[in-house]
Chains A and B, each alone.
Chain A
Amino acid sequence: MKFRTLALAAAIASVGLSSAVFSPAASAQAQEQFFPVLVGRTGPVAPNAVPWANGYVDYLKLINAQGGINGVKLSYEECEFGYATDRGVECYERLKGKGATVFQPLSTGLTFALTDKAPVDKIPLITAGYGRSESQDGSVFTWNFPLLGTYWVAADVAIQHVANQLGGLDKLKGKKIALVYHDSPYGKEPIPVLQERAKLHGFDLQLLPVTAPGVEQKSTWLQVRRDRPDYLLLWGWGVMTSTSIKEAQATGYPREKMLGIWWAGAEPDVKDVGAGAKGYSALALQHGAEPNSKVVKDMLAMVHDKGQGTGPKDEVGSVLYMRGLISAMLGVEGVRQAQERYGKGKVMTGEQVRWGLENLNLDQAKLDAMGFAGVMRPVQTSCTDHMGSSWVRVHTWDGSKWAFSSDWYQADDKVLRPMVLEAASKYAAEKNIQRRTAEQCAQ
């Protein structure tokens, strides 16, 4: 009985202690800009989501080490959602009450769930490289910011790259391209663009869904072996990607003919496969692994060397670490831009941050000065364009590291713009949303 009482007391004390010690937001001051951090440090996507979270949090620490945003220090609090939409909504509800002024859901399913909530709560959503593709249209999706690129951009560039490999868009005619995709909102996003491109260029599109999490794919790869597609696009996440590459090896499908989305092109996706993944390529959301960039050197010197790094030091600069870092940077720059209008050195509200994100202008000189030379190209948003850029490269796994293997691509607006407008208009009609006018945009 005594032991039980002691154990219970210890458990209660440890819960209290952990929330007091390990929650940086617990000590947040009124003059701090609060950043909620939705993380998936446990569960099936942890190997991919952990480096993202570490990069995100490290960047907030770096900004604090550099003096904050015009003197405003940043605070943050993590909420574990394990890539489950219901738990993500719970995290959102909990953290919005703590003064959140920008959310990054790190899940397309969760983005769909929060898109209706964000306008009510007046909290912008940054979905860098994921989320709803039509939310690029800022005149309808006022609070969504799919910065840097959407899955429609990725699908469009993927076809451009395949065409490039074949010798031109006209060479796509009669070819067979398979899409092996995570059977979820994330995996289904590229399908409309691929179907549109298939109609335009006359290639045959084969759709092969993989049920999440994707640990058993033999049936899918039996079909790949039977149909022998000329190219295979892989829309995987977490364990699905490495399993796909292993199945490709096991069925003898050439890795050189495989092209993954940018969420299926990081170290955890290929590390375990090693030489078996050699030749596998993936789209890069501008950046790849960037261990030699200035921002990484600053991070090591100002955060990790002082014993304040969030994760292991050797992870700094890896692909998904950089994705998290850049995502945090976009949020920070949104706040900084908002301060330009609403007052330097002040804590911004969600509405003010929304304005900042809508008026981002990260030109090359600014990016270079921030340490992103060679990592990123300019990003400029507007009222009608909440994406800001659509630059993509391709990188290839050489058996031990990712290396860029293509020049820069840009999504073809002639193909995508009408689709974005149509889908956004449909959403506006469903939700009874009026498109913002030029005057409203100017406010």
Chain B
Amino acid sequence: MAFFIETMLGGLMTGMLYSLVALGFVLIFKASGVFNFAQGAMVLVAALAMARFSEWSNAALGGDSLFLANVIGIIGAGAVMFLVAWAVERFVLRKLVNQEGATLLMVTLGIAYVLEGLGQTFFGSEIYSIDVGMPKDPVIMFEGLFEGGVLINKEDFIAAALAAVLVAGLTVFFQKTAIGRALRAVADDHQAAQSVGIPLNKTWVIVWCVAGLVALVAGIIWGSKMGVQFSLVTVALRALPVVILGGLTSVPGAIVGGLIIGVGEKLSEVYLGPFVGGGIEIWFAYVMALIVLLFRPQGLFGEKIINRV
């Protein structure tokens, strides 16, 4: 029983981190109708910028204040993500207003490659650390209830809590603020939004900035867990089944989808994996997402698209 609880908790905490990355996809899709394949590359660039600015400023400060170095790192990385958002809007999206979704999707693939290449060129391709004081050792709980207790990974727990706070904040931002409503209006209909005075270009910069902020938080959490390196881009691939399952237009969908995928892949690997040689969790997540699509093509929480002809 204790092991089952550990597996569930591990899945939930991992799922929360998937939700965080999935949120980046959802935000941009909601506001611009673009499926942003560059989200993984944005996570990498944000984490690289944070790690290197923090490292450089720590060296400049004589290694005395890691906290201050991290603050400078976060500000520097935030500035880089703003620059990315501005450049994407100015040089890419502005030229492609009202283009087909497939065109925009391919463009984000191109952006991903550019960001990966430029990020590693400017900041390096070695493994860099982000030390934000996350505890690395586990804690054993409920030893009185279960033999051997239940192991909780403190780092995962804190990361999941941070992700939950960010997700809640973004939900409020989208539902309750004027800017959030403007973003949703732009997503629904560019021309109608413009006609009521919503500036399209500014809105896109804002939404890419918000996605950049989400990428920065995801980059700090994943970078602290596994080191900052190229493989961070693959984390985005783990979030794809989450958005398929949760629905591309739903913030709650990204959260619930993340949790379902997180728990589902852990349970499948641990309990089904041994019967088929293991290594099934990645594709099993897609199986779950595809099963959902069979019954709800728009995902669990996605909006049903009805075209009048």
A243 / chain B contacts, CB cutoff of 8 Å: 226
Question: Which of A56-64, A157-165, A202-210, A431-439 contacts the other chain?
Answer: A202-210
- Nearest residue (CB) in B for A206 is B274
Kindly state whether residue A71 has any CB partner on chain B within 8 Å.
no
> In whole angstroms, how far apart are the Cα atoms of A217 and B308 in the complex?
47
Quick one: which of B114-164 are within 8 Å of A by CB?
Answer: 116-117, 120, 125-129, 136-138, 140, 151, 153, 155-156
Contact indicator per residue, chain A 41-66, by CB within 8 Å of chain B (1) or not (0): 11110110010000000000000000
Kindly state whether residue B55 has any CB partner on chain A within 8 Å.
no
Q: Is the CB of B120 within 8 A of A251?
A: no
Minimum CB–CB distance from A260 to chain B (whole Å) comes to 16
Q: A44-B231, A213-B234 are in contact. Are A252 and B138 (CB under 8 A)?
A: yes
Question: Which of A121-129, A220-228, A280-288, A364-372 contacts the other chain?
Answer: A220-228
- Nearest residue (CB) in B for A43 is B230
Minimum CB–CB distance from B63 to chain A (whole Å) comes to 15
Kindly state whether residue A292 has any CB partner on chain B within 8 Å.
no
- Nearest residue (CB) in A for B232 is A215
Q: Is the CB of B10 within 8 A of A208?
A: no
Q: Is the CB of B14 within 8 A of A47?
A: no
Which of A50, A246, A272 has the largest number of chain B CB atoms within 10 A?
A272
Minimum CB–CB distance from A207 to chain B (whole Å) comes to 7
Q: Is the CB of A207 within 8 A of B137?
A: no
Contact indicator per residue, chain A 221-248, by CB within 8 Å of chain B (1) or not (0): 0110110000000000011001100100
Kindly state whether residue A183 has any CB partner on chain B within 8 Å.
yes
Q: Is the CB of B125 within 8 A of A211?
A: no
Kindly state whether residue B265 has any CB partner on chain A within 8 Å.
yes
> In whole angstroms, how far apart are the Cα atoms of A210 and B234 in the complex?
14
Minimum CB–CB distance from A284 to chain B (whole Å) comes to 21
Question: Which of B75-83, B168-176, B196-204, B277-285 contacts the other chain?
Answer: B277-285
Q: Is the CB of B126 within 8 A of A223?
A: no
Contact indicator per residue, chain A 110-148, by CB within 8 Å of chain B (1) or not (0): 000000000000000000000000000000000000000
Q: Is the CB of B226 within 8 A of A246?
A: yes
Q: A46-B125, A272-B129 are in contact. Are A252 and B151 (CB under 8 A)?
A: yes
Kindly state whether residue A219 has any CB partner on chain B within 8 Å.
yes
Q: Is the CB of B126 within 8 A of A215?
A: no
Kindly state whether residue A176 has any CB partner on chain B within 8 Å.
no
Q: A42-B125, A44-B231, A218-B266 are in contact. Are A225 and B226 (CB under 8 A)?
A: no
Contact indicator per residue, chain B 226-250, by CB within 8 Å of chain A (1) or not (0): 1101111011001000000000000
Q: Is the CB of B138 within 8 A of A44?
A: no
Q: A209-B279, A218-B14 are in contact. Are A272 and B230 (CB under 8 A)?
A: no
Kindly state whether residue A8 has any CB partner on chain B within 8 Å.
no
Minimum CB–CB distance from A426 to chain B (whole Å) comes to 22
> In whole angstroms, how far apart are the Cα atoms of A252 and B140 in the complex?
10
Identify which of B126, B129, B232, B270 contacts A219 (C-beta below 8 A).
B270
> In whole angstroms, how far apart are the Cα atoms of A46 and B279 in the complex?
24
Q: A211-B281, A271-B127 are in contact. Are A246 and B231 (CB under 8 A)?
A: no
Q: A42-B125, A215-B226 are in contact. Are A250 and B282 (CB under 8 A)?
A: no
Which of B3, B232, B234, B269 has the largest number of chain A CB atoms within 10 A?
B269
A47 / chain B contacts, CB cutoff of 8 Å: 125-127, 229
Minimum CB–CB distance from A65 to chain B (whole Å) comes to 27
B58 / chain A contacts, CB cutoff of 8 Å: none
- Nearest residue (CB) in B for A223 is B270
> In whole angstroms, how far apart are the Cα atoms of A207 and B278 in the complex?
8
Minimum CB–CB distance from B198 to chain A (whole Å) comes to 30
Kindly state whether residue B7 has any CB partner on chain A within 8 Å.
yes
Q: A218-B10, A251-B138, A251-B151 are in contact. Are A246 and B279 (CB under 8 A)?
A: no
- Nearest residue (CB) in B for A216 is B238
Kindly state whether residue A276 has any CB partner on chain B within 8 Å.
yes
Which of A42, A207, A216, A271 has the largest number of chain B CB atoms within 10 A?
A216
Q: Is the CB of B277 within 8 A of A209?
A: yes
Identify which of A50, A219, A225, A274 contacts B273 (C-beta below 8 A).
A219
Q: Is the CB of B136 within 8 A of A276?
A: yes
Quick one: which of B255-284 are within 8 Å of A by CB?
Answer: 265-266, 269-270, 273, 277-279, 281-282
- Nearest residue (CB) in B for A210 is B279
Minimum CB–CB distance from B68 to chain A (whole Å) comes to 21
Q: A225-B6, A250-B138 are in contact. Are A44 and B14 (CB under 8 A)?
A: no
Minimum CB–CB distance from A60 to chain B (whole Å) comes to 22
Q: Is the CB of A272 within 8 A of B127?
A: yes
Q: A42-B230, A215-B235, A239-B227 are in contact. Are A249 and B129 (CB under 8 A)?
A: no
- Nearest residue (CB) in A for B137 is A249
> In whole angstroms, how far apart are the Cα atoms of A44 and B6 in the complex?
30
List the 4 closest A-B pairs by CB distance, nearest first.
Answer: A219-B269, A209-B279, A272-B227, A239-B231
Residues of B within 8 A of A (CB): 3, 6-7, 10-11, 14, 116-117, 120, 125-129, 136-138, 140, 151, 153, 155-156, 225-227, 229-232, 234-235, 238, 265-266, 269-270, 273, 277-279, 281-282
- In the assembled complex, 16 residue pairs joining A and B whose CB atoms fall closer than 8 Å, in A order, are A42-B125, A46-B125, A46-B230, A209-B278, A211-B279, A213-B234, A216-B14, A219-B266, A222-B6, A225-B6, A246-B226, A249-B137, A250-B137, A250-B153, A251-B151, A268-B127
